[in-house]
Homo-oligomer: A and B are copies of this chain.
Amino acid sequence: MAARSTRKHSLGKPALPSSLRRRRGQDVTILDIAKCLDISHTTVSRAIAGHEHISEETKRRVKQAVKQMGYVPNASARTMRGQRSSVVGLIIPDVQNDFYATVAKIVADNLAAHAMQLMLSVTEDDPDRELRELRALLEARPAGVIIVPTASPKPQMIAMLRDLKSVQLVRTHAKITKNAVLIDDRAGTYAAARHLLACGHRRIAYIGGTTELSTGRERLAGFQAALADAKITSSNIALGPPRPDFARTSISMTMAMAPSSRPTALVLGSAELTLGALQGLRAANIDWPRDISLVGYHDPAWFELVGSGITTVRLPVQDVAQTATRVLLSELNSERANGGHAKEHTTIRLSPSLMLRGSTAALTEEQAGPMGRMAQST
């Protein structure tokens, strides 16, 4: 019944007897192509892979059939044979955060350029979810993972990461000894505080992420170092989850202080906290830089639109993402190259820069308060 497929046309059979086209309701496989071209599936496989010892003629015919029949390689089957798939996992706390969104974009671009796929996992900074996401990801046998670890990763999750090529992004966790591409966060907040000090501010507050986060520690340290260098001992510091709400709350508490002790300047230790702080200030009807100078963290496009622009610590987002991908990909290749596991862990640290805009200003007499006239040492 089923018409045997024809042959002889210069290149195989442009007409595909529909009966042959697919075996069941399935996709086209190299076997289908082989049958159709009356050659072995091995040849088809090799032709597609652009193997050496295949006649040009055969290659041509195969390629044509591939197009005509709409053949799409089956990644699963391919992965079964080899070890790992061409998937790279990206595990981040939050895609809505402009910083990570940018990271996702860059990583996606780079992977696409290498014919790899991006599997996205969002942890919401929840260690449990982080664990679940990684476990789920592992089922795909990814070639590698780019991860921004939560504050306290589950030991189980750390263990799983050990058998996997991975790069830590932005944050490091001590227990995870792996490649890492970081930002010199210390330098960031140091510069921020330094700038405010240079503006004459002395009562400078800091709102930052928990010290459970490596970024939280670094940024806090940078801030404190700047103040210490200026011989300022006391400061108003609030640490908590890097979410807008925390900053909002902190702001309302801080601003409830007596004017004479209330900070005249503010350093933010994360992008989300900056957003929250701005919301809080606005809600409290506190104007910047008139009432308070502030330096944000990270530099989304809209920072230049708020007020007369937000002075901020600009992060090398693109660089970080690009570098992370590069490190991961090169490790994947090195694997193939020297067969063994070249266990050299790369740690790269990129520098932020201070972007001066209109949210910071010189300390005014009014801000300084009646007894606030202090020496203005550099």
User: What chain B residues lie within 8 Å of A138 (beta carbons)?
Assistant: 72
Are A77's CB and B75's CB within 8 A? no
- Once the chains bind, are B119 and A136 in contact (CB under 8 Å)? no
Q: How far is the CB of A109 from chain B (nearest CB, A)?
A: 7
Query: Can you tell how many copies of this chain the complex includes?
Result: 2
* Interface residue total, chain A, C-beta cutoff 8 A: 57
A96 close to B98 (CB less than 8 A): yes
A244 is an interface residue with CB less than 8 A from chain B: yes
Of chain B, the residue at the smallest CB distance from A89 is: B117
CB < 8 Å: which of B79, B98, B139 contacts A73? B139
Write out the residue numbers on chain B whose beta carbons fall within 8 Å of the beta carbon of A137. 117
Interface assignment of A102: CB less than 8 Å from any CB of chain B = yes
Residues of B within 8 A of A101 (CB): 95-96, 98, 101
A191 at the interface (CB under 8 A from B): no
**Contact: B119 with A72, CB < 8 Å?**
no
Residue A18 lies at the interface, judged by CB distance under 8 Å to chain B = no
How far is A328 from B302 in the complex, measured between Cα atoms in Å? Answer: 34
Chain B residues with CB below 8 A from A7, complex form = none
B104 touching A141, Cβ below 8 Å: no
Q: Which residues of B contact A120 (CB under 8 A)?
A: 90, 104, 108, 118-120
Pick the contact of A104: B85, B95, B119 (CB < 8 A): B95
Contact A122 B105 (CB under 8 A): yes
- Segment among A9-17, A45-53, A230-238, A274-282 that sits at the interface with chain B: A274-282
* A132 proximity list for chain B (CB < 8 A): 112
Contacts of A256 in B (CB 8 A): none
The reply to whether B77 and A80 form a contact with Cβ atoms under 8 Å apart is yes
Contact B112 A105, beta carbon cutoff 8 Å: no
* A95: min CB distance to chain B, Å: 5
User: Shortest distance in angstroms between A355's beta carbon and chain B's nearest beta carbon?
Assistant: 16
Cβ contact of A141, chosen from B74, B160, B275, cutoff 8 A: B74
Instruction: Pick the contact of A302: B74, B109, B306 (CB < 8 A).
Output: B306
Check B72–A135 contact: CB distance below 8 A: yes
Q: Report A301 CB to chain B, min CB distance, Å.
A: 6
Q: Is the CB of B117 within 8 A of A72?
A: no
Collect the chain B residues with CB atoms within 8 Å of residue A141's CB.
27, 74-76
Question: CB-nearest residue of chain B relative to A309?
Answer: B282
User: Contact string, A77-106, partner B, CB cutoff 8 A, digits 1/0?
Assistant: 111100101010010001110100110110
Bound form: Cα–Cα A133–B141 in Å: 20
Which of B73, B85, B122, B300 touches A108 (beta carbons < 8 Å)? B122
| Contact of A115 with B95 at beta-carbon distance under 8 Å, contacts A80-B77, A244-B301, A279-B305 already known | no
Q: Which A203-230 residues sit within 8 Å CB-CB of chain B?
A: none
* Cβ–Cβ < 8 Å partners of A95 in chain B: 95, 101, 104-105, 108
A197 to chain B, nearest CB (A): 26
Per-residue 0/1 for A34-50: is the Cβ within 8 Å of any B Cβ (1 yes, 0 no)? 00000000000000000
- Residues in B with CB closer than 8 Å to A73 are 139
Q: Within 8 Å of chain B (Cβ to Cβ): is A121? A: yes
Q: A80-B76, A141-B76, A302-B275 are contacts. A136–B115 as well, Cβ < 8 Å? A: yes
| 7 nearest CB pairs, A to B | A75-B139, A76-B76, A76-B79, A302-B302, A120-B120, A101-B101, A108-B122
Residues on A lying within 8 angstroms of B by beta carbon are: 26-27, 70, 72-80, 83, 85, 87, 90, 94-96, 98, 101-102, 104-105, 108-109, 112, 115, 117-122, 129, 132-133, 135-141, 159-160, 244, 275, 278-279, 282, 300-302, 304-306
6 contacts between A and B (CB under 8 A): A77-B80, A101-B101, A112-B133, A118-B121, A282-B304, A305-B306
